[in-house]
Chains A and B, each alone.
Chain A
Amino acid sequence: MAPYESDDSRTGDEADGTRAGRRRATRYAVPVAVVGVAAATIGLVPAFAGSGDPDLPEVSAQQLIEKIAASDVQRLSGTVKVSSDLGLPDLGGLESSLGGVTGGREGEGSSADPSSRLMELASGTHTLRVAADGEDRQKLSLLDKAAEYSVIRDGDEVWAYDSASNEAYHVRDAASGSAGKGAEDRSGDVPATPRELAEEALKAADGTTSVTVDGTAQVAGRDAYKLVIKPKQSGSTVGAISVAVDAKTGLPLKFTLTPASGGAAVIDAGFTEVDFSRPAASTFDFSPPKGAKVTEGDELKSGGPAGKDGRADKDGRADKARPGGAGDPGKEFEGLNVIGEGWNSIVRFDTGGEGLPSGEAAGGDAGRFLDSLGDQVSGGFGSGTVFTTRLVNALITDDGKVYAGAVTKDALVKAADAAK
């Protein structure tokens, strides 16, 4: 009978049944306990990690802003996590195929062209790596699944390398003037690091803004102050901007923009790891691998309009999201006005065309598709369509005027009425 019974039962008596049952229960308790311990660890560790706000001497908001301004971090390397949830309709593959058209994956362009790649940051969660050593050596890498996209600047050489397609993009900064500048501007267009974002937000700080210091926090293992920037006026879709500022260096470590409507942050960018020592010199040393397709920045002159399109798109998505950036699209459009001030600025421009056909005027499937994306509104100005995201709303009237800003739908309609 031996093998029919369980491990250490040596007696074949009557009590065996219940004993075996109890033993079975105790043995099955082991995997259950392992699951329990794991669940407890997963649940509790973040809670404990978040509870230890550091004790730091008090500072005023003014002192903290000065600290940011005086911050002169030349050398660092770190990992930044950026999540943005602008509430744009998820276009999925359509978006990337559009990117392919403007970036020219099939055309003469290169998938390593910064203008086609940094747009990706406008949605989803991304991990970035930044490294800097002084003014002329910087590196920004966008970590993909099993691939990486890097923009490396070493002196007047700017390289971009896309490991997924093994393509490189090269610009000589000093020599080729405008093209080089263009690429650089473009790579700087989407502010990705918490510092750039914080500087943009502080630019907008004027009479319409309240700036306060709201305690301390631990970010990337460093002690930081939390600076909270809030619009004073109502009507803005921006709820609050919170910036965590490193207590020692004054470097903004984390930037969070929460919408007035509540819910998850629209933009959340913060260091998960930061190190202020000099990065290894080899970090900035790039030469294209054998067989990589290299596109020289100069060759892309004909791709200028494509780059501009991408830029206009980004302005629409990112710059308008910041009140400070509202003046930017002026380069692209004629007849642009800014209505209001501070956080409630609304950009108004005339497309000069018919505008979007709405309601019954819209014919065919395309019209219905557009209608499904926006809401019909009417008021003193006539009627139009409002396209909403979690941060930026835009009203396109039937006579071709566009009003857009980080303000509520009502504020847009009011502005349109007033402008009539």
Chain B
Amino acid sequence: MSLAEVAETPAAAGGTPGPPRTPGPLWTLGLLRNELSTTLRRWRTVALLGVLAAVPVLVGIAIKIETSDGSSAGGGGEGPAFIAQITNNGLFLVFTALAATLPFFLPMAVGVVAGDAIAGEAGAGTLRYLLVAPAGRTRLLITKYATTMAFCLIATLVVAISALVVGALLFPLGELTTISGTRIGFGEGLARALLIALIVAVSLIGVAALGLFVSTLTNSGIAAMATTVGLLITVQILDQIPQLHALQPYLFPHYWLSFADLMRDPVYWDDLIRNLQVQGLYAAVFGTAAWARFTTKDITA
């Protein structure tokens, strides 16, 4: 029910004024597909995904070289989580790669895509044409958010699959030992890896909503991206300051590494659930804030 729909009616109906047309669900799906393919075909997005796919390759090769003389990787428990187990089971490369990319690379990629979502269109002068098409602001915003969330999942899966392929090529696979010391079969390990990838993707929806909100505040795509990534870094730093420990459980990256709890046996759910709650809260707050801003602002570009 937007003005844009009303504005579109005469053109769409070939000049015969009629009742405002409500776009059907198929149309919305088409819009989403269109958005998704536009986003994924951008060179910027391809480059981001390429960098993400390269991280597990680098980690895998580095460990292979380091351990070629028989020494163990990450001796003494240094380095990213799970790194000591990779040489014995390539599946652990998936967990290490996600643990290595989650603090910065993944949210940065999501921040770039989310920050660009509205502000990029506005900066390129295409936002008003999108609204002239029977999109409606709320619908467009939801489509943009859905696209960003799809990108979260795609980016996470790119890291996970790249890590799985590299791990399978360079290291043995097979039965694995959970961090609690119990053994699980390779099939269950693979299922847990998939679940972990999903949890990591969901961990990013908070930063995606934040980026979308920032994106509605400005008409410059670059400014929105820079602000989102800057906020991400600031919050990550705040999360490290011990004096702020009372505040930290409410920061969106605080429980990010809780995905590792899925590798305990039995799974320790407390932090995982808290992570989902925090992400849901950020998505709700910044999603509605973006909606309030976007549906009431003047579109001048």
Which A residues fall within an 8 A CB radius of B? 2-10, 20, 23-24, 27-28, 30-31, 34-35, 38, 79, 105-106, 111, 127, 129, 141, 143, 145-148, 150, 152, 159, 161-166, 272, 282-283, 285-287, 289-293
Contact = CB atoms under 8 A, between A and B. Distances in A.
Contact of A141 (B132, B180, B288): B180
Contacts of B298: 4-5
B288 A7 contact: no
Contact of B288 (A31, A127, A272, A289): A31
B181 A286 contact: yes
Interface in B64-81: 72, 74-77, 81
Given A7-B3, A34-B285, A165-B84, A27 B296 contact: yes
A161 B296 contact: no
B183 A287 contact: yes
A79 to B, nearest CB: 7
B179 A7 contact: no
A164 B80 CA distance: 9
B128 interface: yes
A289 B77 contact: no
Given A31-B288, A148-B264, A2 B183 contact: no
B287 to A, nearest CB: 8
A2 B6 contact: yes
Interface string B109-141: 000000000000000000010011000111000
Contacts of B87: 291
Contacts of B136: 7
Given A3-B7, A34-B288, A282 B296 contact: no
Contact of B260 (A6, A35, A146, A286): A146
Nearest to B289: A31
27 contacts: A4-B299, A6-B137, A7-B2, A7-B138, A24-B292, A24-B296, A27-B292, A27-B295, A30-B291, A31-B285, A31-B286, A31-B288, A31-B292, A34-B285, A129-B180, A143-B268, A145-B257, A152-B181, A163-B177, A163-B179, A165-B76, A165-B77, A166-B72, A282-B183, A286-B182, A289-B89, A290-B89
A166 B288 contact: no
B231 interface: no
Contacts of A161: 181
A148 B3 contact: no
Contacts of A20: 296
Contact of A7 (B137, B257, B264): B137
Contacts of B72: 166, 291, 293
A106 B75 CA distance: 10
Contacts of A23: 296
Given A3-B4, A35-B285, 7 more contacts: A4-B300, A7-B1, A8-B3, A28-B293, A147-B77, A165-B75, A291-B87
Contacts of B299: 3-4
Contacts of B74: 165
Interface in B119-165: 128, 131-132, 136-138
Contacts of A38: 281, 284-285
Q: Interface on chain A toward B: helix, strand, loop, or mixed SS?
A: mixed
A147 B81 contact: yes
Contacts of A2: 3-4, 6-7, 132
Contacts of A162: 77
A125 to B, nearest CB: 10
A163 B285 contact: no
Contacts of A4: 298-300
B3 A289 contact: no
Nearest to B87: A291
Interface string B156-197: 000000000000000010001101111100000000000000
B57 interface: no
A6 B179 CA distance: 54
Interface string B74-114: 11110001101101110000000001000000000000000
A41 to B, nearest CB: 10
A130 to B, nearest CB: 12
Interface in B1-46: 1-4, 6-7
A23 B265 CA distance: 51
Nearest to A105: B76
Contacts of B181: 141, 148, 150, 152, 159, 161, 163, 286
Contacts of A129: 180, 268
A393 to B, nearest CB: 26
Contacts of B132: 2-3
Nearest to B82: A146
Contacts of B77: 111, 147, 162, 164-165
Contact of A79 (B182, B183, B268, B295): B268
A27 B291 contact: yes
Q: Which of B2, B84, B88 lies at the interface centre, i.e. has the most chain A CB atoms within 10 A of its CB? A: B84
Nearest to A145: B257
Contacts of A9: 3
B182 A164 contact: no
B198 to A, nearest CB: 18
A233 to B, nearest CB: 36
A289 B85 contact: yes
B188 to A, nearest CB: 12
Nearest to B287: A31
Contacts of B1: 7-8
Contacts of B281: 34, 38
Given A141-B180, A287-B183, A146 B84 contact: no
Nearest to A150: B181
A2 B270 CA distance: 50
A10 B6 contact: yes
Nearest to A5: B3
